[in-house]
Structure 1
Amino acid sequence: MARKFLYVIAFLIALVIAGAVVYRIWGNDLIRWRFVPARAFEPQSNVREDVYDRPDMWLARPDIQRNPALWTPAGYQPRNAAGGAAIFFIHPTSYLSDDHWNAPLDNKEANDRAALFLRGQASVFNEAGEIWAPRYRQATFGSFLTDAADATRALNLAYGDIQVAFASFLRQIGNDRPIVLAGHSQGALHLTHLLKDKVAGTPLARRVVAAYVVGWPVSRDNDLKAMGFPECARADQRGCLLSWETFAEPADPSLVLDIYDRSTGFDGKPRRGSRLVCTNPLTGTANAAALASANKGTLFPAADLGSAEIKAGRVPARCDERGLLLIGEGPDVGPYVLPGNNYHVYDYSLFWANVRDDVTRRLGAR
């Protein structure tokens, strides 16, 4: 019996090793095969202009119960008084199915996963003010693994929802509140367009404390000017943009950069080879390096993801020549590291306490 057990263990170990080899060699192709929808894009009508005036269209806003963005680890508390900044946060992709190109608004799995992301990401802003995070018909994960026309249609539909949500957000917060704009991954992509289309060059831009465009590459040469904000050069600078994409080493960013390098920038020119905006979240400055001792707190989630412990001094960060944020060997923060040592899912949580201080510092700067 013991020998049979050892055979089973040996077989499982061999299977895991073989799977790891296959994943390392063909990982990106396997991901594309699994997540890109095989069906055609399904056209849908635009949402009504007033639909985001309803509280149920938001995952987070000041007046709803069980707001996931108000979560904090032990030792921290959200703001307990009204006021501060009004924070518009666009959550990352939480719809992984290949059943549709866009998530249904009532998809429970996608909404539950989005709420989890708000706890680990948007929560960094809950000391600075009130967080608004809309539900939207997000493009499915597979939309980012192909340059097919249907992927573009799915992203355009999602961005249409974001524009309506942002207009409602502005109506409801009034005309004098300072604003923080933030997002991650797909949310950061939509934020780049929102900055270009709705904020840059308008009176609204003067109210923006900072834009956190995290987990989506921003070209310094091709995108920044059109978005209307410079990259943050000082830790206490207002009216600037922060962006980073996190990789452990050795890093293979091909899953991110292959498609990005085939794209066209906001200036109409190819982005290929262009340097990315890289803000070091440990320093709040561009193209910087910092030791792990500068990290005030990384979130280490529990196995069930129901809670997290914050630990300081664990993760360093430096910007490389292309503009990727490198963190050395990489900590064990969970099973969701993507191929190529891509810590994309953890872009905020690796530097949670530093980003929390960053937004508070910029809000208080003059």
Structure 2
Amino acid sequence: MRVYFLCLLLAGATSLSSCLKILRPSHAFIKSAVPEAPDYRMEDNWAALPDRRDSADRVPRNTLLRDNQRNAPVDVFFIHPTTYYWRKQWNASLSNERVNRFTDETVIRGQASAFNSTARVYAPRYRQATLYSFFDEKEPNGKQALEVAYDDVKTAFQFYLDNYNHGRPIIIAGHSQGTVHATQLLHDFFEQSPRLRRQLVAAYLIGFKVKPDEYTTIRPCEDSTQTGCFITWNTVAWGNSYAPFANSVATNPLTWTRDTTTAPARLNLGGVPQSFDRQDKRLVGAKVHEGLVWVHPPAPKGYPRFLLPGRPNLRHSFHIADYALFYTNIRQNAEARVRAYRMLMGGQ
């Protein structure tokens, strides 16, 4: 695991030329070789549940932030990003304790926890597609692996609706691969059900491309308190582009609008680095530009860029830090949208 982690996270590294080759599974996708599907009746198949101690309960050390899931008025269904980089198979096994531990200590702690002041956190483990699936452009392997992963997410969400939700308002949130699956989840459940759309506080579809016309009934959010809508952005270093995300919706996470006005760093309530031991207030400003959010590279350490050989535009991407750079703003915005939703629904 450490080799793949370093391939992805070491900004400025010069020895990455073989990284993609290392990440590619050595065989084609074979359905019979896919790990056993999870049973979501088993708590171990959830990375986070609100009535159990887990990494989603955490708050950054040395801050005044607090977990409030016990009294939270809504739920968040959080779909974690790719944390499986191995080449052994195209989809992760839920019995892989190293992957589970890595997931919990990084993205469940650093991303899902952003919602724990206002929402009860439900985060399924799933047979996530290995990272190389997103670069498997000439073969169907990656697509098939992602389909397996989505089948699990869809099953987990249905189990959540049947057993945990009890009609409570819902936030949908994800990042990267998680957002790929969350985007489809909105199609399969919320677009098809007026009842579920009434329960939707908002969807945070962060770290992947979402088109302005992705849905017929769910629109991009236009301000900080609109509900029943979606928010999305992809963060890059100021002045750079990334063609695959061109013409995506981009929400400025400092103003929660989609205009191109530069939001100054004084509006940044606090980024939280990978060490999860502080808030860096006024960390970065932000500007929407052609489907991306531009930021100047932050001075404090702990907010890595995304580096892969042969993908020069990714050298400017803060994909891994999409949540971290704006952690406290996300937290406050989720609270604001929940308050607005409850007022709209008469105090529900």
TM range (shorter): 0.7 to 0.9
Q: Which amino acid aligns with 2:270?
A: G
Aligned-pair Cα RMSD in Å? 2.1
Q: Which residue pairs with 1:34 in the alignment?
A: 22
> Does the alignment pair 1:325 with 2:297?
no
Higher relative contact order (CA 8 A, sep 6+): 2
- 2:273 aligns with one of 293, 300, 305: 300
Map Cα deviations across residues 347-366 of structure 1 (whole Å, 9 max, x no partner).
11100110001011001112
The SS at the match of 2:44 is helix
Q: Does 1:139 align with 2:129?
A: yes
Deviations 1:147-205 (A, max 9, x none): 22010000000000001100011112344211000000000000011111121130111
Cα distance in 2, alignment partners of residues 106 and 319 from structure 1 = 41
Change in 2 beyond 3 A, CA 1:184/1:333: farther
Contact kept? 2:172, 2:203, Cα under 8 Å: yes
Q: Distance in 2 between matches of 1:80 and 1:188?
A: 23
Q: Give the 3-state SS of the residue equivalent to 2:167 in structure 1.
A: coil
Offset of residue 80 of structure 1: 5.4
CA displacement, residues 276-316 of structure 1 (integer Å, 9 cap, x when unaligned): 110111112223431101000011333xxxx4210111211
Corresponding residue of 1:316: 285
1:206 match: 198
Taking the aligned partners of 2:134 and 2:108, their CA distance within structure 1 comes to 21
State the AA in 2 paired with 1:75.
L
Q: Any conservation in 1 of the 2:69–2:119 contact (CA below 8 Å)?
A: no
Which structure 2 residues correspond to residues 119-268 of structure 1 after superposition, within 5 A? Answer: 119-147=109-137, 148-202=139-193, 203-221=195-213, 223-225=214-216, 228-253=217-242, 257=244
CA distance in 2, matches of 1:193, 1:151: 16
Q: Which string of whole-angstrom CA distances, capped at 9 and with x for unpartnered residues, describes residues 7-49 of structure 1?
A: xxxxxxxxx9x963x76xxx6xx4432312231113148737x
Does the residue aligned with 2:272 lie in a helix, a strand or coil? strand
Distance 1:158 1:283 in 2: 33
Gaps of 5+ in 1: 1-15, 261-272
Determine which of 309, 324, 327 is the counterpart of 1:349: 324
Distance 1:188 1:69 in 2: 18
Within the candidate set 63, 80, 90, 1:91 is matched to 80
* Identical aligned residues as a percent: 33
TM value normalised by structure 2: 0.85
Unaligned 5+ segments in structure 2 are: 1-9, 308-314
- CA radius of gyration, larger in: 1
Stretches (4+) displaced over 4 A? none
TM-aligned CA distance change 1:19 to 1:169, over 3 Å: closer
**Counterpart Cα distance in 1 of 2:35 and 2:92:** 14
